[in-house]
Amino acid sequence: MRKCMFYLMMAVAVIAFGACSPDESNEPGTPGIETPENPEEPGEPEEPGEDPDSPSGETKILVAYFSWGGTTQRMAQEIVRQTEADLFRIEPEVSYPTDYTECTEVALEEKNSNARPAIAKEVENWDDYDTVFIGCPVWWWTTPMIICTFTESYDFKGKTVVPFCTYASTYRDETLARIVELTPDAGHLAGEGLTSGRINEQNISSWLKEIGIIK
């Protein structure tokens, strides 16, 4: 009888122990809830209209040009129309001959002698301008010498120069590069050179948008 009771008690213990496996004896771990690090306090919102990538204030633009036959003048006037810039015509004190052949002879003589033809007028309020377009025709593979006179007459420090020129067939790039060379103290934007037949609203607008002068 005692043996029966002993075996019965052992059986109950085995059943009871077996019903509680190690895996079941512990509740499954609570899924880890990661607490995110406290985010940095957001910075103060910018005031309306604040944009560090945009220039402050309005840029004042001057378009200065020399033109003998009127072609460069047309390009200059279209630039002014699209940018609302001020216009300054670089005029010599002594006018160039109106005859083409005679004018080319005078221009070549000035080039060979490294002349500085005097300019009739001065730019008013030069210091007010941030950006200066400088334009001319191609004469004897480069700028007319009067452009040298102009660039040597003003302080270009802190200004942005944009060269432009008109030409018949060649020496466009050399002339644009010469204007850059003559204004070493200025910053520069990419220039443009056009033949007479390509001076139009679309071509000039595309260039001005490309260099960020207009939107």
CA distance 98 to 45: 63
Residue 177 lies in domain: 61-210
How confident is the model over 69-124, as pLDDT tens digits? 999 999 999 999 999 999 999 999 999 999 999 999 999 999 999 999 999 999 99
- Residues 19-36, mean pLDDT to the nearest whole number: 29
CB 149 within 8 A of CB 165: no
Rounded to the nearest integer, the mean pLDDT of the chain is: 80
CA distance 147 to 91: 10
Q: Which of the residue ranges 34-43, 146-155, 179-188 would you say has the lowest mean pLDDT?
A: 34-43
Residue 108 lies in a domain: yes
Number of domains making up the chain: 1
CB 156 within 8 A of CB 133: no
Token pair for residue 69? 């036959």
pLDDT at residue 58 in the model: 72
Overall pTM > 0.85: no
In angstroms and rounded to an integer, the radius of gyration of the C-alpha atoms of the chain is 40
Asked if pLDDT for residue 41 goes beyond 80, the answer is no
Residue 130 lies in a domain: yes
Residue 199 lies in a domain: yes
SS3 state at 74: helix
How confident is the model over 169-180, as pLDDT tens digits? 999 999 999 999
CATH code (residue 82): 3.40.50.360
Q: Which of the residue ranges 8-12, 78-82, 151-155, 206-210 would you say has the lowest mean pLDDT?
A: 8-12
Other CB atoms within 10 Å distance of the CB of residue 97? 13
Residue 215 lies in a domain: no
Residue 38 lies in a domain: no
Asked if pLDDT for residue 151 goes beyond 50, the answer is yes
How confident is the model over 54-69, as pLDDT tens digits? 333 478 999 999 999 9
Token pair for residue 47? 């005031």
Residue 2 lies in a domain: no
CB neighbour class for 16 (10 Å; exposed up to 12, middle 13-18, buried from 19): exposed
Residue 198 lies in a domain: yes
Residue 142 lies in a domain: yes
pLDDT at residue 19 in the model: 31
Half-sphere exposure of 112 (CA within 13 A, CB side): 6
Confidence grade of residue 26 (pLDDT, cut at 50, 70, 90) = very low
**Which ranges in the chain belong to alpha helices (H)?**
2-18, 22-25, 71-83, 100-112, 145-151, 172-182, 201-210
Query: Is pLDDT larger for residue 14 or for residue 185?
Result: 185
